[in-house]
Amino acid sequence: MTESGQSESGKALIKDELRRQRIETPSWAYGNSGTRFKVFAQQGVPRDPYEKLADAAQVHRHTGVAPTVALHIPWDKVDDYADLARHASDLGVAIGAVNSNVFQDDDYKLGSVTHPDPAVRKKALGHLLECVDIMDRTGSDTLKLWFSDGTNYPGQDDIRARQDRLAEALAAVYERLGEGQRFLLEYKLFEPAFYMTDLPDWGAAYAHCLKLGPKAQVVVDTGHHAPGTNIEFIVAFLLREGKLGGFDFNSRFYADDDLMVGAADPFQLFRIMYEVIRGGGYTAETAFMLDQCHNIEPKIPGQIRSVMNVQEATAKALLVDRDALAAAQREGDVLGANAALMDAYNTDVRPLLAELREEMGLDPDPMAAYARSGYFEKIAAERVGGAQAGWGA
């Protein structure tokens, strides 16, 4: 492709792959967010799920590859979900994964589905099942389960009993899934629990999913690991086992920073995308979702930039000369193999993506096109009054 030699037909194939990529944006990225110190309100922020979908539609309009929007319940609770789905479709998008939320209620102080009190566990399970009802009504095929469950102090609760309670709840949700529906189980090392988390890593999530069956898969949130974790290994492993359901993309410098994907470590994102492609995971089965918050930067452009970052990493991963890489690996040519990866990574794929966007009838520069569109000025003027949406609200 590279100006350095990729054939025109090779380039066309890469563009075809990029054209069919789908990246899901999260409804919560459009609302106000912040740290535990301060939420900085922004102008024009949506007041309800309908307005969030309208903002998400702008991201799709300018990138052409972001046609679905993840919901978070109860943040996106509405009276009529079929109506919300229709609204999405009128805007040219659709409802994606339904994210459950059993972490923002006083009852969940000591856990949700792992809580020592059966009444709290019942309430949490009720919410998860309600999320499947919402999937039925919106046509969503994916439920994303993240639990903040864990303990802060040694001895606080019984680690093993909590695993039993977790397994019981997961089995009940699995049972409730309909034809063509699945759940993605998310893990996270720590936070909000600081001593022990009930689903701290991919191994624990994998073991629970394996027991349940094919409708249970693991989702890798790139911000949920210890520093230095080799995430691409996890990706390769899970794909090989048929258990990688998708990604919550974001990037982090320290903890679960939820910054724009590809901002902190674009090389890591490239390595992940390479393993996805290598492992046959570049299909609709593997959900590429963003799970981000834009605390200080404008939100719609933050999402557009993130989508572009995923596209750039994907394009570079598609550029890897797999034959040359395999030959070098066979021959034990360490430097040659490393060079095959690095040549692709160091290629400037922006011209290729600009060309692709023009072929798709889009502006080659989505950031500039959005800025010129006047959408921000319009929402800033229109969305006055009412309560702005936010992840805490």
Q: Which residue is nearest to Mn ion (CB)?
A: 248
Q: Does 112 bind ligand RM4 (CB under 6 A)?
A: no
Q: In DSSP terms, which residues pair with 70 in a beta bridge?
A: 26
Q: Does 33 bind ligand RM4 (CB under 6 A)?
A: no
Q: Does 55 bind ligand RM4 (CB under 6 A)?
A: no
Distance between CA 147 and CA 165 in Å, rounded? 13
Pick the binder of ligand RM4 from 17, 141, 201, 256 (CB under 6 A): 256
Distance of alpha carbon 207 from the chain centroid: 21
The least distance separating Mn ion from the CB of residue 305, rounded to whole angstroms, comes to 19
Pick the binder of ligand RM4 from 24, 55, 186, 232 (CB under 6 A): 186
Contacts of 202 (CB under 8 A, 6+ apart): 187, 218, 220, 234, 237, 238
User: Which of ligand RM4, Mn ion, none does residue 256 bind to, with CB < 5 to 8 Å depending on kind?
Assistant: ligand RM4
* Run of H or E residues at 186: strand 182-186
Helices (H), the chain: 8-19, 49-63, 81-90, 118-138, 159-176, 202-212, 231-240, 266-278, 299-319, 322-330, 334-345, 350-359, 366-373, 375-382
Which x/- pattern, by CB under 5 A, does the window 213-252 give for Mn ion?
--------x--------------------------x----
Measured from the CB atom, is 100 or 347 closer to Mn ion?
100
Interacting positions 279-298 with Mn ion (CB under 5 A) = 291
Measured from the CB atom, is 248 or 343 closer to Mn ion?
248
Interacting positions 194-223 with ligand RM4 (CB under 6 A) = 221
Task: Characterise 121 by phi-psi region: left (phi > 0), alpha (psi -120 to 50), beta (else).
Answer: alpha
Interacting positions 319-378 with ligand RM4 (CB under 6 A) = none
Which SS3 state, helix, strand or coil, does residue 239 take?
helix
User: Which of ligand RM4, Mn ion, none does residue 99 bind to, with CB < 5 to 8 Å depending on kind?
Assistant: ligand RM4
Dihedral (CA of 272, 277, 281, 283) sign: positive
Q: Does 288 bind ligand RM4 (CB under 6 A)?
A: no
Task: List contacts with ligand RM4 (CB under 6 A).
Answer: 72, 99, 146, 186, 188, 221, 248, 256, 291
